[in-house]
Structure 1
Amino acid sequence: MSRKSYQPEAVIDTFGHGFRVPLFGSRGPMLRNLAIVGVSFDGDLEDAQFFNPAGLVVPCRAGDGLRRLLTRASHREYSKIVGHGQFAKPEHVLKSMEGAGTQRKWMTCYFERSEFCFYFDDAAAWAAHEQAEIADLTPTHFLEMAELERRLQSRQRLASEIADGPQGLPDLPTPAELEERRQKAIAERLADLQEQRRQALEQDRQLGAWLRGELPAPPLLRSVA
């Protein structure tokens, strides 16, 4: 029996909200405030402060795999600690570290976002996402669906022919009817996508407010992808 090799976590999400580093393999839209784009790290104390694109510190701690993740950093800054908000190190602690010279042991690493991952508030990327989502709603697709529908109806009618007598097969919809179906499907999918984005942006707004300390408790995050 094969055993799965242990893969140590680089980031431990203490609240289980879904904070993550959107590196290779990440796809689709995500909340900006859930994205980890960098970490300030003291290798001696194994102390880490992760932050999102807004510079807000997120409630995560270093896992055993963090050092391996650091090798994928796009660039580094030394003797620097980045981040603000309610989960960031307090100002008096930073001043104490600076006075004691311990801040020199810290290194801040930055990560590049996967090219296949984008934020819900990126209007251009979202527009491209919408077009990709409706790309399969072509006239050919609806013609094929209409043919499948006609075959299904014909099978159902064959089952009742003995009792009711022979019946003709249903006609395929006209090109105008197919186009009407297509436009309706496009409108419905776009409406669903717009509602998904609206909910995501509201969640992101609340999440940012919580990380800044403006909300007493974390928001309830629902799946929006």
Structure 2
Amino acid sequence: MRDSWAHRRSWGGRMTYRCAPFKGPFFDVYRIGFNLYQPNQNNWRQRTIAGVSWNGREREAFFFNPDGLVLPIEANPWELPPLLGRHTIQREFATVVGSGMFAMKKAQRNALTATGLGEWVTYWLVDFEAGYANDLANWAAYVETDLQAERQAAEASYAAVQDLRPRTGQPVERPWNEQGLQVETPTDDLPKQILENVDARRSFLQDEYARQYAEDRRIAAWLRGEAGDPPLLALMKGAA
């Protein structure tokens, strides 16, 4: 997106820029949750910054996700170059990548001369083989890891409670009652409460996947410019 705040003016034959009104290399203007790829975290395709097409002279940038859809993000021209230096895995010169509602306008792209296009460099920040939470296999691996850790914590808590109870002679509140746990094969030595919480946690994570997956689909449609029918037209269709 073009930086609307980066006004330029001539000063002694040089161009000067105002400081960015935000901290960090970029600003998520709609607060959607766009971010860099985070290893060992859940990364959703439509909300991940996969690359940036950057014109360093004009301080103009187009951030895009793994599907090539441009994201509504403002660049900080002073902090973006260091980020590119740290995260770039591949560069393409004289290219502008991205499609959708926030991409470079067709008229601007068509007006680019060879020299103008040469001012653009596209930086890829994520490996093409990177995994995303949208993939059921990746999500399943995350669930198993998450629930295994919860199970281990609950077993440790259970052992601690069993050790404490003979010394106090009083009932002890179970600290794992609100936790969700993963048990692939139920075992007889774990209390029924833990097994029930395993199923509750699994159901919660299934619902979380459904919510996040649907949200990613909505974001993709929005980025493509598929806003649907205007409210009045939609109302008329519903009444027909």
**Bin for the TM-score computed over the shorter chain:** 0.7 to 0.9
Q: Percent identity?
A: 28
Matches within 5 A, 1:104-183: 104-112=118-126, 118-136=131-149, 137-138=151-152, 140-141=155-156, 143-144=158-159, 147=162, 150=165, 154-155=169-170, 176=188, 178-183=190-195
Higher Rg:
1
Q: Equivalent of 2:91, from 59, 62, 76?
A: 76
Structure 1 counterpart of 2:96, one-letter code: I
After the TM superposition, which segments of 4 or more aligned residues of structure 1 sit over 4 Å from their partners?
Answer: 148-153
Matched, 1:40 2:53: yes
Which residue in 1 is equivalent to 2:222? 210
Letter in structure 2 aligned against 1:104: G
The Cα of 1:156 is off from its aligned counterpart by 6.1
CA 1:147–1:156 in structure 2 vs 1: closer, same or farther (change >3 Å)? closer
Selected match of 1:85 from 96, 100, 120: 100
TM-score, length basis structure 2:
0.68
Deviation string 1:176-214 (CA, Å, 9 cap, x unpaired) is 473533332221111111111110001100011111111
Residue number in structure 1 paired with 2:7 = none
- The letter of the residue matching 1:187 is D
User: Which whole-Å CA distance do the structure 2 matches of 1:200 and 1:126 have between them?
Assistant: 11
The CA deviation at 1:93 is: 1.4
Residues 79, 200 of structure 1: CA spacing in aligned structure 2 closer, same or farther, 3 A cutoff?
Answer: same
Q: Secondary structure at the match of 2:98?
A: coil
**Equivalent residue pairs, number:** 188
Gaps of 5+ in 2: 1-21, 173-186, 229-240
Q: Which has the higher contact order (CA 8 A, sep 6+)?
A: 1
Computed over aligned residues only, the root mean square deviation of the Cα atoms, in angstroms, reads 2.9
Question: What CA distance in whole angstroms lies between the structure 2 residues aligned with 1:182 and 1:156?
Answer: 17
**Deviation of residue 9 (structure 1)?**
1.4
Mapped to 2, the partners of 1:89 and 1:150 lie a distance apart of 67
Aligned to 1:51: 64
Q: Indicate which of 190, 200, 204 corresponds to 1:192.
A: 204
Return the letter of the residue paired with 2:219.
Answer: L
Q: Secondary structure at the match of 1:85?
A: coil
Structure 1: segments with no counterpart, 5+ residues:
1-6, 158-174, 217-225
